[in-house]
Amino acid sequence: MSNSSFAQRLAVTGSLPRIATRSRAPIRIGILTPLSGPEEAWGRPGLDGCQLWSDWINEHGGLLVAGARRRVELIARDSGIGPDATLDAARDMVERWQAPIVLTLGGDSFAPALPYLMDQRILVATLLPTDLSPDTPYLIAPSEVHPLFNVTGVSWLARTHPDARRVALCGQTDSLGLPSIAVFRAAFDAAGMDRVKEVQYAPNTTDATGIVAAMMADRPDVLCWCSSTPPMTHALTEAAHAQGFTGRIIACTADDYPRMIARTSSDFMERYSFQFPDFDDPMLSETVFFFHQPQTFFEIYNGRFPGAWSAVSWEYAFMPDLWLGAVEQANSTKPVSVLAAMKRARQIPHAFGLAQWWGQEIFGIDNALVGDWPVVGIRDGRARILEFGSVQDWLEEHGSLLARHLEDLGQLWHQRLLPSLWR
């Protein structure tokens, strides 16, 4: 597959000709993701990023497919309002709007739509590779490998703060939280850190104060929020500050970290590490990846959607951009042809370098793009990349350990397909 799509070349040159799209029917891209509820912060900012991507494409004539330019139209629906509505939205995207690809956060809210979309052979791009299985051949995780990349943050913490050995972790008991707990368990074990407390809480729990008090009872050096939702991450962090915690905190995300600083302190947040950088980070200035101008994307996004930048702001936009490169190569939007074009190259450019299709060992299918991922900390009030770590290298060394922890929590692909047999 080509190393640069139309959108990438547009961002680099800024001078591609504007070509009239005439009256051809647009190509619809479905976005079926949480736009309400506790996971809204992992859906709406991604939709905003996709809007920027589609605007850039349309301003320069649209997609070139089979010799004709066609506009892009986003069909966005909320997967956070219930299973029946989610399935109805998926059907509408396919049967009414003929969307050849659907973008999603994935997980429990999207699950009602997945069997139908697989039956229809629609290409689906998820942010959760733990959705993958041999029964989902048209489901790919090309952008984010949540929660696998969290191993890089634990490795950094163990190496740079060797005195922080005792860990208490918490996470919600859903399809986002349980795999994350398993990954953090494995990463702490691989690093030789002691897990002294684990609190699993129901997804609708709001008692952050009680959870933190239980975690601190065993006097840990490190508190880990795993992949708690942004509202819960904020509440847990504020509770730890209020209860006088002086150790380190590690988590998947730190969305709206300026608010976290304002409600705790700069010194407190200097001890917080996570996995998602701002895109004006100096360490990304020479990085070659989608759009090729991360700072430009960051500035335009923040200008249009002030205060909305989050872990997912760029990730949804990455998925259609990767898809576009495969569309150009296949000269078609047919999902089967596009997927074949995507998978033709074992290694392809990813957000933070080259990545390769992987997943057979854990997911039963090689449909996740795995490469390097950044470790991020707060420095002088800004999120800054501390280093890049190799997720692939960690998996090669500790994959069997991860599999055991996933199995313990019923999160291997065959356990998720047949849950009643593994209770």
What are 298-319's pLDDT values in tens digits? 999 999 999 999 999 999 999 9
Q: Quote the pLDDT of residue 293.
A: 77
Distance of CA 104 to the CA centre of its chain: 10
- pLDDT of residue 327 exceeding 90, the answer is yes
- Average of per-residue pLDDT across 358-382: 95
Closest CA to 261 of 157, 160, 169, 380: 380
Token pair for 255: 């969305």
Identify the sign of the CA torsion 262, 264, 267, 271.
negative
C-alpha 121/C-alpha 99 separation (Å) is: 11
Cα-based distances in Å from 291 to 77, 263, 315, 320, 322: 26, 34, 12, 12, 11
- pLDDT tens readout for residues 267-284: 999 999 999 999 999 998
Q: Quote the pLDDT of residue 13.
A: 45
Q: What domains can you pick out in the chain, each with its CATH number?
A: 6-146+286-370 (3.40.50.2300), 150-274+373-422 (3.40.50.2300)
Q: What share of the chain is helix, strand, coil (3-state, %, to 5)?
A: 45, 20, 35
Is the distance from CB of 63 to CB of 69 less than 8 angstroms? yes
List the strands of the sheet with 368-370, edge to edge: 347-350, 353-358, 368-370
Q: Quote the pLDDT of residue 421.
A: 43
Closest CA to 53 of 35, 31, 81, 36: 31
- % residues pLDDT > 70 (the chain): 91
- Average of per-residue pLDDT across 97-118: 97
Average pLDDT, the chain: 91
For residue 264, the SS3 value is: coil
